């Protein structure tokens, strides 16, 4: 791998620059100033529970989805747009499972909705 060409100048997934107030004045007044560059590796969540969901077509043409989502309205609107239903016809029931640490933010429910409506 040492001889592999470096096609990407860097492998950074994100950079955050935060500025509030007069940082220079605060640093001048500080007894101690610690400067550094901090890098952390990417990590994947390790859930104790499975990431799963269920969907059921309703007799009125709607769809009900049970999911451990943290964003039921995002799921509802995404699924409604994908399957061509008005949002009022898509009911999302958030399941009280696991913690809320952002690891389940990806939308798996639209695929589930397509399969349920086949």
Q: Mention the CATH class of domain 54-116.
A: alpha beta
Cα–Cα distance for residue pair 1/42, rounded to 1 Å: 21
pLDDT at residue 23 in the model: 87
pLDDT at residue 10 in the model: 67
Q: Check: CB of residue 87 under 8 Å from CB of residue 76.
A: yes
Q: How many residues does the chain have?
A: 118
Give me the residues of the chain with pLDDT under 70, please. Answer: 1-2, 5-13, 97-106
In order of 55, 101, 102, 109, the CA distances from 44 in angstroms are: 26, 11, 11, 20
pLDDT at residue 11 in the model: 65
Q: Is the pTM of this model over 0.95?
A: no
**103 dihedral zone (left: phi>0; alpha: psi -120 to 50; beta):** alpha
pLDDT at residue 51 in the model: 74
């Amino acid at each position: 791998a040492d001889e592999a060409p470096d096609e990407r100048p860097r492998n950074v997934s994100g950079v955050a620059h935060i500025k509030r107030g007069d940082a220079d004045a605060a640093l001048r007044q500080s007894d101690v100033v610690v400067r550094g560059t901090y890098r952390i590796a990417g990590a994947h969540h390790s859930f104790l529970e499975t990431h799963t969901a269920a969907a059921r077509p309703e007799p009125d043409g709607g769809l009900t989805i049970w999911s451990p989502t943290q964003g039921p309205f995002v799921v509802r609107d995404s699924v409604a747009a994908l399957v061509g239903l008005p949002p009022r016809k898509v009911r999302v029931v958030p399941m009280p499972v696991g913690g809320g640490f952002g690891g389940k933010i990806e939308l798996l429910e639209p695929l589930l909705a397509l399969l349920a409506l086949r």
